[in-house]
Amino acid sequence: MTIRVVVVDDDPLARTALSTILGADIGINVVGEASDGAKAVEIATKLRPDVVVMDIRMPVLNGIDATRHLTSLRPPPGRVLILTTFGDEEYVFASLRAGASGFLLKNAPAEQLTSAVHTVAVGDALLAPAVTRMVVERYLTSAGQTQSNGRILDRLTPREVEVMTWMARGLSNRQIADELVLGETTVKTHVARILTKLAARDRAQVVIAAYESGLVAPGDPDAR
C-alpha cells in the first residue's frame, strides 16, 4: 500500500527537496505541502495522509502546536514525524509529548528519511537511533522530568514491564522476542496491552512513560 505524505516546512527549498526525496520512493506518494503549522492542520485534516513530515520552527503555528492539534483529533489524520536539528534538542520531548511518533535530524541521509516515513506509517516510533536516545535523555535530565514513583508501572504485569523496558531501550518487537525468548506474536500482544493500559497513542509515548516512571533512567548503560 502506498504511504500518503504531507510535507510541512516554511522553507520552500526544503519542502521541494523533501518532496523530491520522498516522491522517489515507489512506496510513498506526497499528496500535499504546507508552509506553516496552521496550513498543515488544514491540509492534513482535509487529505488525511498516513504521515505528516513536520518542521518545528515555523510562522503562524509551530510544529509542536500543530502536532498537538492533529493528534487530538479523533481519529487523528495521520502520524507525525518531526524534523529537527541538533539545535532543537529542547523541543524534542515536547514534540513527543504532543503526540509525534518520532523525529529525525534534518541532515539525515535520504534513505533514512524514507525509512523513517515507512517506520512511522506502520505504527512504530522512530526512537531507536543512538542520537535520538541521547537527545531524549539529555532533555529529561535537564528538565528534571524523571520520577521515581511506580504508579504507571502498577498498571502492568511483570512481563509487560519487561517488554516496556526493552521498548524504551529502542528494541523492535523481533529483538524483544529474542531477548525474552518469546514469539514475536506474543510480544506484539504485550505491546498492544501496554498501549491500552497506559492510554498511549503509540510506542513513542510508552518510551516517555518509561523514562518518567524511572523504569529507564537517563544514561542507562543498557539502553541501545
What pLDDT is attached to residue 36? 96
Amino acid identity, position 23: G
- Over residues 164-178, mean pLDDT: 84
CA distances from 216 to 1, 27, 153, 161, 170 (A): 36, 35, 12, 11, 11
For residue 109, what are the contacts with CB-CB under 8 A and spacing of at least 6?
Answer: none
Whole-angstrom Cα distance, residue 213 to residue 140? 12
Q: Which of 11-15, 129-133, 162-166 has the lowest mean pLDDT?
A: 129-133
Query: Peptide bond preceding 218: is omega within 30 degrees of 0, i.e. cis?
Result: no
Q: Which 8-state DSSP code applies to residue 27?
A: T
- Over residues 211-222, mean pLDDT: 68
- Say which residue the cell 504485550 belongs to: 190
CA distances from 40 to 32, 61, 131, 192 (A): 9, 9, 27, 29
Which residues face 84 on adjacent strands?
105
Q: Which fold has domain 147-213?
A: Arc Repressor Mutant, subunit A (1.10.10)
State the average pLDDT for the chain. Answer: 82
pLDDT score of 26 more than 90: yes
The segment with the largest mean pLDDT, out of 137-141, 146-150, 152-156, is 152-156
Within a 10 A sphere around the Cβ of 76, how many other Cβ atoms?
Answer: 18
Helix, coil or strand: residue 126: strand
Whole-angstrom Cα distance, residue 33 to residue 16? 9
Q: Which of 92-106, 140-154, 201-215 has the lowest mean pLDDT?
A: 140-154
pLDDT band at residue 134 using 50, 70 and 90 as cut-offs: low
What pLDDT is attached to residue 224? 46
Q: Which 8-state DSSP code applies to residue 153?
A: G
Burial category of 179 from C-beta neighbours within 10 Å (exposed 0-12, middle 13-18, buried 19 and up) = middle
What pLDDT is attached to residue 123? 74
Kind of pairing between the strands at 28-34 and 102-105: unpaired
What's the pLDDT tens digit per position in 191-207?
999 999 998 877 777 87
What class has domain 3-126?
Answer: alpha beta
The residue ranking higher by pLDDT, 146 or 11, is: 11
What pLDDT is attached to residue 154? 85
Amino acid identity, position 196: T
User: Which residue ranges make up each domain of the chain?
Assistant: 3-126, 147-213
Amino acid identity, position 121: A
What's the pLDDT tens digit per position in 66-113?
999 999 888 888 899 988 776 566 676 677 778 888 778 788 889 889
Within a 10 A sphere around the Cβ of 58, how many other Cβ atoms?
Answer: 23
